[in-house]
Amino acid sequence: MIPIFWCSLLVALAQFGSSQTVSSSDGYTGYSLSVTGNDTDSAVYETEETDTSNGTVTNASTPPDVYLNASVSVGEIDITVKNLSAKINIDAQVLSLLQFNAGVDLSINAVQLNIQNVTAKVELEARLENLVLMINDTLNSIDLNPVIATLGSDVGSLVDTALGGSSTSSSSPSSSTSGLSARSVLLDEGILYSVNDYTGNTHTNRILDQAGNIVDQKLHNDGSVYSSQVVGSYWHDMTFTGHERAVLFNGQSAKESEYSYTPFNGFSSIAAIYQDTEGNVLGTRVLSEIEGGGSSTIADD
Report residue 258's pLDDT band, with 50, 70 and 90 as the boundaries.
Answer: very high
pTM for the whole structure: 0.39
CA distance 229 to 285: 19
Q: Please report the pLDDT score of residue 210 as a whole number.
A: 92
8 Å CB contact between 288 and 270: yes
Over residues 116-172, the pLDDT tens digits come to 777 777 777 777 777 777 777 777 666 665 555 555 545 555 555 555 554 444 444
Distance, in Å, from the CA atom of 273 to the CA atom of 253, rounded to the nearest integer, reads: 13
Pairing of strands 203-208, 294-297: unpaired
* pLDDT confidence of residue 259: 94
pLDDT in tens, 207-254: 999 999 999 988 887 778 888 999 999 999 999 999 999 999 988 999
What pLDDT sits at residue 138?
A: 73
Q: What is the DSSP letter of 150?
A: G
Determine the average pLDDT of the residues in 254-270.
Answer: 87
Say what the pLDDT of residue 276 is: 93
CB-count exposure of residue 267 (10 Å: 0-12, 13-18, 19+): middle
